[in-house]
C-alpha cells in the first residue's frame, strides 16, 4: 500500500486545527500560564510563603510573646540565629523569638493584602460596571466622583481614618480596601463600555432581564480576566501600604506584628550589628512581592487576546 504523505499531513493539520478550535479560551490561558517559567516561579514562591504562614508556627520552640531572659540586653552577642537555643532567626532586642514573630508577621501581612485587595476588587468592580452599563448622566456623576477622590492623597486619608477611628486590625483592612478601589473602577468601567453593546447583552436586555442581573450575571463574569490580573498586582500594593503604615507606627499594634513593623524594628537596631532582625522579615517581604508580580505578569500574558 502506498501512503500519500501529503494527505497524511493534511489530515494531521486538520486534527491539530480541530483540537485547537475545540479548546476553550480558559484552557488556552491555563496552558500559556503553565508554560510561563517566571509565573510558575512566582506561584511556587507564593505557595511556599503561604505554607510558612500556615504551618510555620508548628516548628517554633518559642511563642511570639515569650521573652528569653538569657539573651535580653545582649542581643548582639547571644541573640544571633541558632538551632541550639531554638531561635532559628535570632531574637529581637527584647529577647523575643524572631522566627515566631516573622511567622505572625507573614500571616498578618498576607491577610491585610488579600482582604484589602478583595474589598477593593468587589467595590471597584461593582461601581465601575454600574457606571459603564448605565451610562449617561449617572456615569458622568459617578466617574467625576472618582476623579475627585483620586485627587486626594490616599495615604493621608488612610492615616486620618486610623487616627480618627482607632488603630485596629478591622479598620486597617477596611481603610486600605476602601481607598484602593478607584483605579479598579476606572478599568472595569472602560471594559464595560466595550461589552454593553455586544449581542448577548442586547439579547438579555430584549428578554426583559433587569439591569442589575445583567451586570451581575453577564458583565462581571466577562471581566474576570482583567479583574484577576489587576487583583494579583493589587495585593502587593496592599502589603506595601500596610508595611509603610506599620513602619510609621500606625499599623498593627503590639503584641501583634507585621513585616513593616519588623522591618522598622530591624532598621532601628542595625547600628548594634543585629542585621538578622532586618534581613529575615525583609527577605520574606521582597520575595512575596516578586511572587505576586511574576504571577500577575503571567496572568496578563496568558489572558492577552492577542496571544490566542
What does the pLDDT read at residue 62? Answer: 83
- pLDDT tens-place string over residues 215-250: 888 888 888 778 888 888 888 888 888 878 877 777
Is the model's pLDDT at 76 over the cut of 80? Answer: no
What's the whole-number mean pLDDT along residues 3-9?
A: 50
Q: Mind listing the domains of the chain with CATH numbers?
A: 38-72+85-307 (1.10.3720.10)
What does the pLDDT read at residue 20? Answer: 46
Is the model's pLDDT at 46 over the cut of 90? Answer: yes
Q: Are 61 and 86 in contact (CB under 8 A)?
A: yes
DSSP secondary structure of 198-256:
SHHHHHHHHTT--HHHHIIIIIGGGGHHHHHHHHHHHHHHHHHHHHHHHHTT-SS-TT-
What's the whole-number mean pLDDT along residues 69-87?
A: 67
Between 270 and 5, name the one with better pLDDT.
270
CB atoms inside a 10 Å sphere around CB 15:
10
- pLDDT tens-place string over residues 272-295: 767 888 889 999 999 998 998 898
What's the whole-number mean pLDDT along residues 50-56?
A: 92
Measured at the CA of 107, the angle between CA 226 and CA 239, to 5 degrees, comes to: 45
pTM of the model: 0.77
Is the model's pLDDT at 270 over the cut of 60? Answer: yes
- pLDDT tens-place string over residues 154-200: 777 777 877 777 677 777 777 777 778 888 899 899 888 888 888 88
What does the pLDDT read at residue 77? Answer: 52
294 contact partners, CB below 8 Å, separation of at least 6: 38, 39, 41, 42, 43, 45
28 contact partners, CB below 8 Å, separation of at least 6: 308
Between 22 and 160, name the one with better pLDDT.
160
- pLDDT tens-place string over residues 93-109: 777 888 989 999 999 88
- pLDDT tens-place string over residues 158-170: 778 777 776 777 7
What does the pLDDT read at residue 78? Answer: 54
Q: How confident is the model at residue 1 (pLDDT cuts 50, 70, 90)?
A: very low
Measured at the CA of 63, the angle between CA 282 and CA 50, to 5 degrees, comes to: 45
Q: Are 92 and 213 in contact (CB under 8 A)?
A: no
Which of 19-28, 82-91, 127-136, 217-226 has the least mean pLDDT?
19-28
Rounded Cα gap, residues 306 and 60, in angstroms: 49
- pLDDT tens-place string over residues 113-140: 888 888 888 999 999 999 998 888 998 9
Which of 47-56, 62-71, 204-213, 225-234 has the least mean pLDDT?
62-71
What does the pLDDT read at residue 54? Answer: 92
What does the pLDDT read at residue 82? Answer: 76
Is the model's pLDDT at 50 over the cut of 90? Answer: yes
Amino acid at each position: 500500500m502506498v501512503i500519500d504523505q501529503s494527505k497524511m499531513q493534511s489530515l494531521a493539520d486538520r486534527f491539530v486545527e480541530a483540537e485547537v478550535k475545540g479548546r476553550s479560551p480558559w484552557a488556552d490561558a491555563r496552558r500559556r500560564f503553565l508554560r510561563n517559567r517566571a509565573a510558575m516561579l512566582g506561584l511556587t514562591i507564593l505557595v511556599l510563603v503561604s505554607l510558612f504562614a500556615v504551618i510555620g508556627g508548628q516548628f517554633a520552640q518559642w511563642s511570639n510573646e515569650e521573652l528569653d531572659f538569657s539573651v535580653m540586653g545582649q542581643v548582639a552577642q547571644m541573640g544571633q540565629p541558632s538551632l541550639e537555643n531554638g531561635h532559628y532567626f535570632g531574637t529581637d532586642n527584647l529577647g523575643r523569638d524572631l522566627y515566631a514573630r516573622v511567622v505572625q508577621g507573614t500571616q498578618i501581612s498576607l491577610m491585610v493584602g488579600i482582604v484589602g485587595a478583595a474589598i477593593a476588587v468587589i467595590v471597584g468592580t461593582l461601581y465601575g460596571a454600574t457606571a459603564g452599563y448605565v451610562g449617561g448622566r449617572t456615569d458622568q456623576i459617578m466617574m467625576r466622583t472618582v476623579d475627585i477622590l483620586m485627587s486626594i492623597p490616599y495615604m493621608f486619608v488612610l492615616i486620618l481614618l486610623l487616627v480618627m477611628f482607632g488603630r485596629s486590625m478591622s479598620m486597617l483592612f477596611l481603610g486600605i480596601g476602601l481607598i484602593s478601589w478607584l483605579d479598579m473602577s476606572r478599568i472595569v468601567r472602560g471594559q464595560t463600555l466595550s461589552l454593553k453593546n455586544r449581542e448577548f447583552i442586547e439579547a438579555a436586555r430584549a428578554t426583559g432581564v433587569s439591569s442589575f442581573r445583567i451586570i451581575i450575571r453577564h458583565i462581571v463574569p466577562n471581566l474576570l480576566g482583567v479583574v484577576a490580573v489587576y487583583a494579583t498586582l493589587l495585593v502587593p500594593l496592599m502589603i506595601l501600604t500596610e508595611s509603610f503604615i506599620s513602619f510609621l507606627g500606625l499599623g498593627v499594634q503590639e503584641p501583634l506584628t507585621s513585616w513593616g513593623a519588623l522591618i522598622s524594628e530591624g532598621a532601628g537596631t542595625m547600628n548594634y550589628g543585629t542585621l538578622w532582625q532586618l534581613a529575615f522579615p525583609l527577605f520574606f517581604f521582597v520575595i512575596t512581592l516578586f511572587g505576586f508580580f511574576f504571577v500577575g505578569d503571567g496572568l496578563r500574558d496568558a489572558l492577552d487576546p492577542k496571544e490566542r
